[in-house]
Structure 1
Amino acid sequence: MKLFYYQRQDGTANFGDSLNLWLWKQLLPGVFDEDETTAFIGIGTLINNLLPDRVPNAKRIIIFSSGVGYEKGTPLIDDSWKIYCLRGLLSAQKLGVPASLAITDGAILVRRLFKTDSIKVNRFAFMPHIHHANYGSDIWKSICTEIGFAYIDPRSPIEQILSAINQTEVLLAEAMHGAIVADALRVPWIPVCSSARILTFKWQDWCSSIEVKYQPKYVMPWGDIYPPVARGIRSSFRATSHWVNWLQQDKFRFLGKISTSQQKLIATQLMYIAQNTHPNLSTEQRIEQLTVALEARLAQFKADLAWLK
């Protein structure tokens, strides 16, 4: 059985995707090999019309906590698919499958594997979207330094990111799996959005599972790395008024770089968000309920392994 997860064409590691290797090989030791006739689809927004083409040799497709999104449509679900659980209710609705399959994102299982402690080093930390980290990491680091925030790079090693989140009192996150893991580790989080590359649908899908409303706080976009609209259904809210308002201001047009005044404004915005926003955190009862539900589906998967092989 082959573990499938999204790998960027530029070879850059991304926290949410890299969690697959770290998590499943601990929870399912000895299960995975290079046999592509069965594909295990785990953490990520992986369910779309291109998935069958990305696992062309798979005669069986196993879905475990993945979400629908990106590209332009959903795949045809047939008898070769076995869905154990999905990220949330929106994914179940898109696929036309029972709501009972909507559990939550599998990344919350880190709470069973990562040992937390009560030592907090950072009052606030910021974790950008992978695209924004790839092209603007130095600037984001500078902004965070200016306002005394820790900067968590989604390209860093898994254990390093887990420790950084655990040592933070409140996480401001563009990276959804940063927020998911923060919730799992009982770290309050605030969703931040600085471009239309942040896919509203997948955030709403996950938030539906933890019974929290997705209410992102917007930060001014900057440079060519922040196009107002991304391709496919990535741009589920399209060029909303948040982006239109910024684009209509000549002094903040997309210049392919960021000025000192822009950087200071963004720093001010992040600080204001941190100080004036009540952070999110699912209830202890809810997160434990979801964790147990995922473990039950995992046990079912293990029981089915003989059949799957």
Structure 2
Amino acid sequence: MCVNVEAYVKHQVKVYWSKDHSLTAKLVKLLYADCMVNGCDASILLDGPQTEKNAPQNAGLGAFIIIDKIKTVLEDRCGPGVVSCSDILNLAARDALHLAGAPSYPVLLGRKDGLESKAAWVDLPSPSISWEAGLAYFQSKGLDVQDFATLLGAHTMGRTHCNYIRDRLYNFNNTGKPDPTMGKSLLDKLRQQCPKTMNKSQEQNQTVFLTPKYGPSYKFTNAYYTNVISHKAVLGVDQQLLFNYDTNQLALEYAGSFEQFRKEISLSISRMGALKVLTGNKGEIRRNCHFTNKNNPYIK
């Protein structure tokens, strides 16, 4: 293992984050998309027409180029084939979160990269999923109700597409009316951003911030939970945290204590980043994150 790998990654992330604070949300989402599907093996980074990155659920993922640039630096400074793409993704997500205001946390290194990636494996839930289905999905991956409620707090930095919230705005549960749990001020604001009449392209491309108060600054706060309690959550699954005793109590706790939320989200992301890790003889350390070594056109 490269002795200075963490310092190298941290420096690179800081350089790119200083130019684009949305990098935090992009890297955390990329880590989520990787780890929740067949474990944290960097399979989300592999190229190919039928790989995970081309699954419909992963449309809009970003930060691939940042991982590439970090990999290039590490191949030069640490030596070829020393640091895996999976370790890079985990470290980069942690460091971007830290720059945005979350506490840092230890990342165990030594992961290997997966040898396969298939779009058919991608079972990531839709942002319009119900609370019950969302929790069941997280539990199926080895995470618990606290991880679920805590990791949803990453929405404090993200955005979503209009097509995932239009039912809440105009036709909740086919009633022809908006979701009654959404506050009127938020409803009016979102209806301006996501009008009732939109073509398919607009629905898929128009986005709204999940915590509009902070917008593009992507500041890491506990505002997500304040919004949930105030019935100002953009996504239905977020608002539904109030409907279960355990998640309701967590939302109240995190809204009242930013420090507690900071601590717990670091623990939950660390647990997510350790799902089904490949080590030892399983997997490989890719020379290029886009290709397995066997299929790498740049290796002679």
Whether TM exceeds 0.5 here: the answer is no
TM-score under structure 2 length normalisation: 0.30
Q: Work out which structure has the larger RCO, using CA pairs closer than 8 Å and 6 or more positions apart in sequence.
A: 2
Structure with the larger strand share = 1
TM-score under structure 1 length normalisation: 0.29
Structure with the larger helix share = 2
